[in-house]
């Protein structure tokens, strides 16, 4: 049986800890947490649902879309942020399988994470994991690689700007594991949201996501001499932005029409995931949910759309896409916020309205690597 992330529970461990050589969040953060297994299960049903800048240089694109002024305004709009956070520890563990192969540790005060390269090398030496996604994924890769003291090739993030190098390919080497990333602008185009041109250093009007997937997999093979062992596919924030743009950028908050969402859910997104499998048939394939977003106009994002997309992912994981694995990033974030006593209040752990900060990002990559490790033991599962 392929390992499946739990839809009903996460395991939260409550033990104070500290780490050396931490990677700290780029946002103003407060409040201590370690990724390690324990026995306190919290049901998903009990979790409460709620709800990047460009410079003139075409080689510089920020993670996400918000300008510095927009991000600052978002941080300041809540004049009463939580003052006390739970100084406990947190773990994302498959409660049904008993898997405990965690690779990262984080503290909440200050927000920082470290990665155990020795354990990664022991479990994942020689493996290649490719994430086909968006800024959420490159943020997470960058945080995780920094926490492992592993330089990221092909992408640089500095305060105020980022550099996506031409070639649409970034990676780091941690203990012999290659963690790689390529951008794509969603499964519901062309046309694509206009920011795509900046990320890809040229017009996106003449490309398609399937072509970018082919190019990314060819880049992996030419760089490392083999196909990825595992691939994670995202298609979320850019699809929502595509829908909004394709619909003429109506007033926000934008709620995607039910028929458009249904077509994406039953046709476009499954076509993308199946195409990835056809292009790289030896790779194990997963897809992920999208974490919560906060209101920020100009991109077509709303929790209505994110919730609808996540419902599609979860239903599809049990039906049309049951052959693949679901990584529930959304649930991971919700469980973490609940563990800190602030369900529905992501600001303390978010970079901006769209992007989780260092701890949720590292947790996400940690969970991806747990899946890869477990499927190494069960190669019959994708």
> Taking the domains of the chain in order of start, what are their residue ranges?
9-376
CB 27 within 8 A of CB 66: no
* Residue 203 structure tokens: 């017009």
pLDDT one-digit tens code per residue, 3-39: 433 322 333 332 223 233 345 443 322 222 333 222 2
pLDDT of residue 145: 97
CA distance 143 to 362: 6
CATH 3.40.50.1110, domain 9-376, yes or no: yes
pLDDT of residue 23: 53
pLDDT one-digit tens code per residue, 60-87: 222 333 444 444 443 333 333 333 333 3
Nearest to 240 by CA among 65, 82, 376, 367: 65
Is residue 324 predicted with pLDDT exceeding 90?
yes
Beta-bridge partners for 232: 131, 286
Please name the residues in contact with 329: beta carbons below 8 A apart, sequence gap of 6 or more: 136, 288, 289, 290, 291, 364, 367
* Residue 61 structure tokens: 């694109």
Average pLDDT rounded to a whole number, residues 176-184: 97
Residue 269: strand, helix, or coil:
helix
Q: How confident is the model at residue 344 (pLDDT cuts 50, 70, 90)?
A: confident
CB 63 within 8 A of CB 134: no
Judged by average pLDDT, the poorest of 39-48, 154-163, 265-274, 337-346 is: 39-48
CA distance 199 to 186: 13
pLDDT of residue 3: 43
CA distance 123 to 377: 10
pLDDT of residue 378: 62
pLDDT of residue 17: 30
- pTM as predicted: 0.78
Average pLDDT rounded to a whole number, residues 224-243: 97
């Amino acid at each position: 049986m392929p390992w499946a992330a739990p839809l009903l529970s996460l395991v939260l461990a409550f033990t104070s800890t500290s780490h050396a050589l931490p990677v700290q969040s780029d946002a103003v953060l407060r409040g201590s947490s370690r990724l390690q297994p324990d026995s306190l299960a919290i049901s998903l049903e009990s979790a409460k649902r709620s709800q990047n800048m460009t410079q003139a240089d075409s080689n510089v694109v920020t993670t996400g879309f918000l300008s510095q002024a927009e991000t600052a305004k978002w941080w300041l709009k809540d004049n009463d942020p939580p003052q006390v956070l739970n100084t406990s520890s947190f773990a994302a563990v498959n409660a049904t399988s008993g898997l405990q192969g965690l690779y990262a540790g984080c503290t909440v005060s200050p927000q920082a994470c470290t990665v155990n390269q020795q354990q990664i090398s022991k479990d994942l030496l020689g493996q290649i994991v490719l994430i086909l996604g968006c800024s959420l994924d490159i943020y997470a890769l960058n945080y995780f690689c920094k926490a492992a003291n592993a330089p990221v090739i092909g992408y640089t993030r500095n305060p105020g700007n980022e550099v996506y190098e031409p070639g649409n390919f970034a990676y780091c080497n941690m203990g012999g594991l290659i963690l790689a990333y390529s951008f794509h602008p969603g499964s519901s185009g062309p046309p694509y949201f206009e920011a795509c041109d900046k990320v890809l250093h040229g017009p996106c009007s003449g490309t398609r996501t399937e072509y970018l997937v082919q190019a990314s997999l060819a880049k992996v093979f030419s760089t490392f001499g083999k196909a990825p062992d595992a691939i994670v596919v995202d298609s979320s924030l850019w699809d929502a932005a595509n829908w909004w743009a394709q619909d003429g950028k109506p007033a926000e908050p934008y709620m995607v029409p039910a028929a458009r969402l249904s077509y994406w859910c039953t046709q476009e997104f499954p076509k993308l995931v199946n195409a990835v499998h056809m292009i790289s048939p030896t790779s194990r394939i997963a897809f992920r949910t999208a974490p919560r977003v906060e209101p920020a106009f100009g991109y077509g994002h709303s929790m209505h759309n994110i919730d609808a997309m996540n419902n599609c992912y979860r239903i599809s994981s049990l039906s049309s896409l049951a052959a693949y694995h679901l990584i529930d990033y959304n649930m991971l974030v919700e469980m973490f916020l609940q563990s800190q006593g602030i369900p529905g209040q992501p600001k303390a752990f978010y970079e901006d309205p769209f992007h989780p900060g260092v701890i949720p990002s590292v947790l996400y990559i940690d969970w991806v690597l747990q899946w890869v490790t477990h499927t190494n033991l069960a190669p019959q599962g994708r």
